[in-house]
Amino acid sequence: MAINWFEGGRRITNLFQWTIGLGLGGYIIFTPDSSLVMFESSHPSGAFEYTAESCDWPSIEKSANRVLFPDKERRDVALCFRPEPTIQQPYDAFVYLESIAENDDLENGYKKGDPLISFGDRYNRNVESYISERTQNPDITQGQLLYVERNLWKQKPIAIWGRLKESLPFFAGGIIFLWLFSVVLGWIVRGFAGIPSGQDFRPNE
């Protein structure tokens, strides 16, 4: 009985594809999650609040000191400064300063004594000073830390989804590459051996 090399090749390709899929699944599910706890703020006078979302550009992430939580465990804490875009600077504007209007300005919609918010990009010295000061004194309350303890489980599905989005293009690329490689190799071998397309043997065998 003749050996069906094409069927063997298809099974090997399937084996590699399953191996890639299982490897991806293991990476997504069993990779240890970061123990970092993220707090965010998007306003100079706004308190930091816990978030399970990542701090991606154009937000600014700064590491704070390790914090002792109510469960007596110390955790790494990071502070995320969310940007406040303006029309002039839609991608890299940042709220950094509050002031009080000294005069009426009806054209811009404020009166003397109204609070004003100024904007600057991340490389502005005032922005750097503001971020440094808030990083050293984040003023996170015990109530917030207790809330974090009760909601840390929310980080797991978000982390899994993040790893899935990160890995999916590589997984799809690997599967498509193996499939194309097997198809092209089979087409070449069939051509040299005189085997019709879509068949594993010559018609007279």
Domain ranges of the chain: 1-31+141-191, 37-139
**Rounded (5°) CA angle 130-135-136:** 105
Report the 3 state secondary structure along 40-64. EECCCCCCCEEECCCCCCCCEEEEC
| All residues at 6 or more sequence positions from 30 whose CB lies less than 8 Å from its CB, including other chains | none
pLDDT of 39: 93
* 10-residue mean pLDDT series, the chain (205 residues): 76 88 87 82 80 82 84 88 64 60 70 67 72 85 88 80 86 90 84 75 70
Q: Can you say whether the dihedral through the CA atoms of 83, 126, 137, 74 is positive or negative?
A: positive
pLDDT of 85: 60
Burial level of 162, CB count in 10 A (0-12/13-18/19+)?
Answer: middle
pLDDT of 93: 60
* Beta bridge partners of residue 105, listed in sequence order: 110
pLDDT of 47: 82
Q: What is the DSSP letter of 105?
A: B
